[in-house]
Structure 1
């Protein structure tokens, strides 16, 4: 499993056509260096893209059995934009499975998103050092941002339900559940491996997956201006989230 391929696109480099070609390269397994790119479509792609794809391909070289290829695609990186244009048919043609992975708590989703934009860190692996600082949230825009995130989640749910009806393999999972429940993590791994030629058994792979929370603990310990945030939440439909 690779990490993010498209990363934070501050220069707006990634277009639907470039993302399409990037996925072709990723799934073709041929790219061992930047010079392997065909044509000029991705000639100026960010270095992070090449580093992630090339390093993933190199780690798989020489391994026996089939390699199940996957990566982390954030909603902010064009997933919804690409779906109708080319991604829907791509998933059907290549039998791509989709895991819709999110936090259960909407405020924690928002907190993680804000912190990720600031630090560029989406996940910390076991043994990796990471010092988390408190995050300040803009209370002037908090409610509109939470509503927008709620609407976005609903849009993705509907899109993936339609994808499932077309024959795309789709599964939803919550971040907190996979950290706390080994059985649910095993079920996700089994879903991703089902129908592939991978020789690794789900239970063996599950035992190797050890990620840890970045934003753990009470919200009051994570949000710098928690008192202000709490007051705003209590006056809205999100009052149930106003627990420290």
Structure 2
């Protein structure tokens, strides 16, 4: 071929290289570029995966960092690490908080018991929050309220904010608790809420307290003010001066109804982590408060309350139609309620 002719010159032999097709050269460059692109893409993908794994690893390490070695692993489901939106927990962010709820009935000593709990440095018990009807209109409003409380975004005079070890409130059985018990039990179990049942053994004494408190709502015996709880013996004597008349005809049925509600509550919430307390036991035996503190995983403290008991002494001194009540209960399962059952 003419392109391969060798030329001889004076200086030496010259060999002309063969000419290559321009199309072939372009294909070669394209293939090379594709290979380089695939290599660069795979390298970047590996780097991204490593970075992502590193992020997840850091999150795991940070989460585990909040679980101290001293914490009993069996208690982990009942510990919560809130991230409130209203403030920063700062250095207390890794301090675990145990959510709780006091389930009770009106005039069963729950107000006095809650003041004892709030006397503890590390407890925030926020009162009877579902006494407001709007918060218990439906299950959605109930659950959103619970979220605010347990996320430390509920503000009350009892709130200790950052370094609370236990946070909760008291919930009366007639405040939507029984109506939506299935959803509430599921919520409690999902979030590890510890339940404290607080009831009165002597339901007749509870009835006296309920009637007297209802009377004072409009009578306002204390200088035109209604008080459900008092801090002086003078105030207690003034309120206890009123002696209610109890409907002896429906008395046994009324006591059965109260007893039934208590039993239903215990049954509905039996699957939760719970402790059962009775007002009379707390009055007679203050070591019960130690049991409560241990149940909530709290450092032990001596708990005090400024509240004064209103109806002290024998029950016959606080019921106007005592003879009728005695006749109605004699020979029934509730006859023992007629007698005092704890030191005055």
Give TM-score scaled by structure 1 length.
0.71
Does residue 172 of structure 1 match 2:276?
yes
Q: Secondary structure at the match of 1:182?
A: coil
Q: Secondary structure at the match of 1:20?
A: helix
The CA RMSD measured in Å over matched residues stands at: 2.9
Given that residues 123 and 211 in structure 1 are in contact (C-alpha distance below 8 angstroms), is that contact kept between their aligned partners in structure 2?
no
**Greater strand percent: which structure?**
2
Partner of 1:71: 169
Could you tell me which of 280, 286, 293 is aligned with 1:182?
Answer: 286
Q: Secondary structure at the match of 2:196?
A: strand
Partner of 2:37: none
Give TM-score scaled by structure 2 length.
0.52
Alignment of 1:1-244 (within 5 A): 1-7=125-131, 9=133, 14-31=137-154, 53-57=155-159, 60-61=160-161, 65-84=163-182, 86-119=183-216, 124=229, 129-130=235-236, 131-132=239-240, 133-161=242-270, 163=271, 168-192=272-296, 194=297, 201-202=299-300, 204=301, 206-209=302-305, 211-234=307-330, 236-243=332-339
Q: Secondary structure at the match of 2:180?
A: helix
Partner of 1:46: none
Aligned length, in residue pairs:
204
What whole-Å deviation, never above 9, does each CA across 1:130-185 have from its counterpart, x for those lacking one? 43332221122211111111222222222233x1xxxx210001111112212111
Cα 1:185–1:56 shift into 2, 3 Å = closer
Q: Name which one, 1 or 2, has greater alpha-carbon Rg.
A: 2
Given that residues 111 and 135 in structure 1 are in contact (C-alpha distance below 8 angstroms), is that contact kept between their aligned partners in structure 2?
yes
Structure 2 runs not aligned, ≥5 long: 1-124, 218-225
Given that residues 293 and 299 in structure 2 are in contact (C-alpha distance below 8 angstroms), is that contact kept between their aligned partners in structure 1?
no
Cα 1:158–1:18 shift into 2, 3 Å = same
Cα 1:26–1:81 shift into 2, 3 Å = same
Structure 1 runs not aligned, ≥5 long: 32-52, 195-199
